Amino acid sequence: MKKLIAFWSILMKDMKTYYIKPPNVSWGLIFPFAWTLMFFVRSERAIDIRGVLPGVMSLAVLFGTTSMLAVTITFERKSRSFERLLLAPISLNLLMLAKTSGAIIFGILNAMVPAIIASFVVDLSGINWLTTIISIVFIAVTSTFLGLFISVSVSEVFEAQTFSNFVRFPMMFLCGLFIPIERLPVLLRPISYALPLTYGADILKTSINQNGIIPSWISFSVLIGYSLFLFLMSNYNIQKRWIY
């Protein structure tokens, strides 16, 4: 019971301190909307909103989770408030799950914004919403743990943001979000299949438009594998570099 209370207290503290703030909430609403609007402005022909919806939702989750986590974890380490959390009567694994749960929730809510906007413009019937929601959760978890891994590997907030961009922007173009992987140069395709967002976006394509190219069970397995690897490596870095 004490562990559950500690977990809930850490999660609520982070939500109030970092996530439920007007700038963050507005950013979570504006960013997906701006990406959707960009396709309308730049395209010379009619936009297939359902076609770009999986990509926009994936980007909303990726940028929402990694951006916020880069600030929360790195800032708390620099201000030494993270060291006080290590005194909490919970294990390191549960502590890091509590610290990352806020980013996961924030990413999931971000993904809902493009879907809600699209529902006013196009007919979204025929979508497998159960698979869509599950895939969004998996993308949020994997992206959050990716942000965690980057955050615990650096010392400053600007370093975390820089390395996050170094990972996020290639994902935008190599994960089949807007350009099908089969249309990429042959030399780049192995990189695409090595990126976790490729599999999350493909599940969304399957559930929304039924045009995914990777079996869903493979995509879910890869996302689970990436999540476990990134989480365990992050905890290893914390134990090695932050706990003396």
Percent of the chain with pLDDT over 90: 21
Q: Which pLDDT score is estimated for 87?
A: 73
Looking at residue 32, its amino acid is P
Who has greater pLDDT, 62 or 68? 62
Query: Closest by alpha carbon to 54, among 194, 203, 170?
Result: 203
pLDDT greater than 70 at residue 95: yes
How high is the pLDDT of residue 220? 94
Q: Which of 40-49, 98-107, 134-143, 229-238 has the lowest mean pLDDT?
A: 40-49
pLDDT: which is higher, 158 or 63: 63
CA-based angle 114:117:118, to the nearest 5? 85
Q: What is the CA radius of gyration of the chain?
A: 18
Mean pLDDT of 157-176: 81
User: How far, in Å, CA of 232 to CA of 26, rounded?
Assistant: 32
Closest by CA to 33, choosing from 129, 163, 121, is 121
Indicate the helix (H) or strand (E) that contains 57: helix 49-78
pLDDT number for residue 86: 72
